Structure 1
């Protein structure tokens, strides 16, 4: 029953915060005091341990992601739904990698939020339908390319992501710089990247969340 589900809503836009709290109350949920910044949201989660926290990403004092990270570190059992305007694949994957249960766009109808809550309570991940297309066109193709990388090549990609130079990688893995460079060439070929010197670093920066989601 909805009244057994306690919900915190945190957003720094007063009208959206008030409207969402009103709608959730109409649906019969136990809606706690709202939060207009991340620090207040964290305090309420710590003290009230709501079933679900619906968080904006960009908030004063603490971002939604910072709130989630701190709550996870403290062993909170609260489940998190992100409500945002961000459609970028990097942000979506960052949310997934942090263990977020839902990811919705702010222009969704209120009914979609109810559907999301119901899915989350069943232990399912729920996201706005627009992300199906983003996954199909932007994320899935890169995942398919990454599958062709060998374990050694994946290790090198991780080290490059940590801003290690070829010399650093050579020392860490006890292999020659020439071997590192050969691995880099193979990685560039498998990822179907241009052969210029910055192509791999640019790809890693854009697709870091995809790579580390594996």
Structure 2
């Protein structure tokens, strides 16, 4: 974001499907002299608004109807949007933070943060510095479990199969769902097991996938 001389020069989109939280944050922004504030109550409208006005900042909840916050960011980035994105969430788990970081977001805040924390985040973004909520245990989030880091080695096709494994699809069902041969599914599963450094054969992949389902759903 280019250097901004006044809060009145900053355009902001806030998206959240909880009216009280959304209206409360918009009111706080207005009361702190941020005058160009727009709001959306679902991901689809948020994306449309962001692409239309390309605000300096978009503050997004993760869980919204139509499109979630991560999907909004992904689609906006694909369109070449230069907006700076802040995730504003209840989630403190490392997998959510790492998913957000993988999308090159500019800030991650918690809904429990006070407005002073939000302004610190905005100021950091103005200076091209990523901002992480002080409410988070940063020492915990700096180091992902090794097996989740290994997931990043997987190809797009392998990640699709891994997601279906969490739904306990058989090889034949995966084959039908993705319109590929069973042999191709087996090859992919073998590659996934190798990349994740699992031992114990096919069942080890199923067990691992079910254990880490929440993280895999974010891929």
Given candidates 14, 18, 38, the residue that maps to 2:19 is: 14
- Tell me the CA shift for residue 27 of structure 1: 2.2
5+ residue gaps in structure 2? 1-5, 163-170, 172-182
Q: 2:131 & 2:89 partners in 1: Cα distance?
A: 14
Q: 1:103 to 1:202 in 2, by over 3 A?
A: farther
Matches of 1:65 and 1:159, distance apart in 2: 20
Number of aligned residue pairs: give it.
190
Secondary structure in structure 2 of the residue aligned to 1:33: strand
CA contact 1:81–1:100 (8 Å) conserved in 2: yes
How far is 1:71 from its partner? Answer: 0.8
TM-score for the superposition, normalised by structure 2: 0.69
Work out which of the residue numbers 108, 113, 116 in structure 2 matches 1:108.
113
Q: In the alignment, is residue 96 of structure 1 matched against residue 101 of structure 2?
A: yes
Correspondence 1:76 to 2:81? yes
Question: What residue in structure 1 maps to residue 133 of structure 2?
Answer: 128
SS at match of 1:54: strand
C-alpha separation in 2, matches of 1:204 and 1:161: 11
C-alpha displacement of 1:163: 3.8
Bigger Rg, structure 1 or 2? 1
Asked if the contact 1:10/1:38 (under 8 Å) is kept, the reply is yes
Aligned with 1:44 (options 37, 42, 49): 49
Q: Is the 8 A contact 1:7 1:53 kept in 2?
A: yes
